[in-house]
Amino acid sequence: MKILIVDDSKVESTVLATYVRHIGGAPVCAHDGASALELFSSEAPDMVLLDVVLPDISGHEVARRIRALEQGGNWTPIIFVTSKIRDEDVEQAIGAGGDDYIYKPVSQVLLTAKIRAMHRIVQMRSSLVVLARKLDTANQELLRLSSSDGLTGLPNRRFFDETIEREWRRCLRGAKEMALVMCDVDHFKPYNDAYGHLAGDVCLRKVAGALRQALDRGGDAVARYGGEEFVFILPETTVGGALIVAERARHAVMALGMPHAESSYGVVTFSLGVATMVPDAGTDSSLLIQAADRALYQAKAAGRNCVFRLHPADNPT
């Protein structure tokens, strides 16, 4: 344990250093405030024994600057060691950032007890910090799992609901166009009936993988909407950009080449509906969802394995 001793008296600092060595510590000595702050930064001590009266700046100011230097939740115990014995002196020292207070002349027994007590607090605090980090990691994993679809690994409907509202508000603030692409595996029920539900699960996982590859911007997202239906959220995207993503996804699914005897195309295909809208104060995201859903219905009515764009004039109001 490295302990920074700050005292303008070389005699006092030598005595304190002897006490520190007696309990297995490594003393580092400074005789003024400026040197103390330099050593604190370079040596990173585990504890500070600090006199109040120093030749350049006060021990109180040293304590305040030490607290300002600490970052990332770090904490170094500061024990004031001084001849000032008034209650007001103690109050001022603790207010400046001190953690304990010892009067001079210093008793070796008392100082040893104080150092060991502070060391135990440091160890307990370190254990709590580690536990808090583990808990935070566990909470992050729980949040990820609660927002993920167990079958495909894509974000789930909950993620979609939260994300579209957030992105809708963001596009509203910036008066930016927002696109939504609703997608559906063509003839999925006949596929399940012909090949079995396990094959259907495999199909959905492969489709999900293909859809991930269709995205090339960090702000875009694809989620499983429900059953064999998926959805792309494309913030700040024009209809042209949305059509590019939709066609890329359609080709990616067809390129999987999964046989589908019940489809006229002979392989698993994908239908997609594209809708875009610039949010305004009198609308909400449900209008965009309805528009994309209608576009998807039109894509299926047009023969499936295609992308249909709903024109703005056709948007439901």
User: Which domains are present in the chain?
Assistant: 2-130 (3.40.50.2300), 157-314 (3.30.70.270)
**pLDDT reported for residue 308:** 96
Strand partners, 80: 50, 101
**In 1-10, which positions are buried (b, 16+ CB within 10 angstroms) versus exposed (e)?**
bebbbbbbee
**pLDDT reported for residue 175:** 92
Catalytic pick from 43, 228, 236, 247? 228
- Can you read off the two tokens belonging to residue 48? 């500070």
CA terminus-to-terminus distance, the chain: 71
pLDDT digit string (tens) for the chain, length 317 residues:
899 999 999 999 999 999 999 999 999 999 999 999 999 999 999 999 999 999 999 999 999 999 999 877 788 999 999 888 888 988 999 999 999 999 899 999 999 999 999 888 888 888 887 887 888 877 776 766 677 898 999 999 999 999 999 999 999 999 999 999 999 999 999 999 999 999 999 999 999 999 999 998 888 999 999 999 999 999 999 999 999 999 999 999 999 999 999 999 999 999 999 999 999 888 889 999 999 999 999 999 999 999 999 765 555 44
Of the candidates 193, 19, 194, 30, the residue with the CA atom closest to the CA atom of residue 115: 19
**pLDDT reported for residue 316:** 47
Annotation marks residue 88 as catalytic:
no
Q: How many CB atoms lie within 10 A of CB 280?
A: 8
Task: Work out the mean pLDDT of the chain and round it to a whole number.
Answer: 91
Q: How many CB atoms lie within 10 A of CB 271?
A: 27
Of the candidates 201, 51, 48, the residue with the CA atom closest to the CA atom of residue 119: 48
Q: Specify the residue for token string 């060991």.
A: 116
Order of strands across the sheet with 221-226?
221-226, 229-234, 178-185, 270-277, 307-309
**pLDDT reported for residue 300:** 95
pLDDT tens digits, residue range 100-117? Answer: 999 899 999 999 999 999
| 1 and 66 Cβ atoms separated by less than 8 Å | no
- Can you read off the two tokens belonging to residue 130? 């580690």
**pLDDT reported for residue 86:** 87
**pLDDT reported for residue 144:** 66
| Torsion angle, alpha carbons of 48, 51, 53, 58, to 10 | 20
Q: What is the DSSP string of 101-114?
A: EEESSPPHHHHHHH
- Can you read off the two tokens belonging to residue 18? 């002897």
Give the Å distances, CA to CA, from 177 to 27, 69, 312.
64, 46, 12
Q: How many CB atoms lie within 10 A of CB 134?
A: 10
- What is the rounded distance in angstroms from the CA atom of residue 40 to the CA atom of residue 216? 48
**What is the value of pTM for the model shown?**
0.60
**pLDDT reported for residue 52:** 92
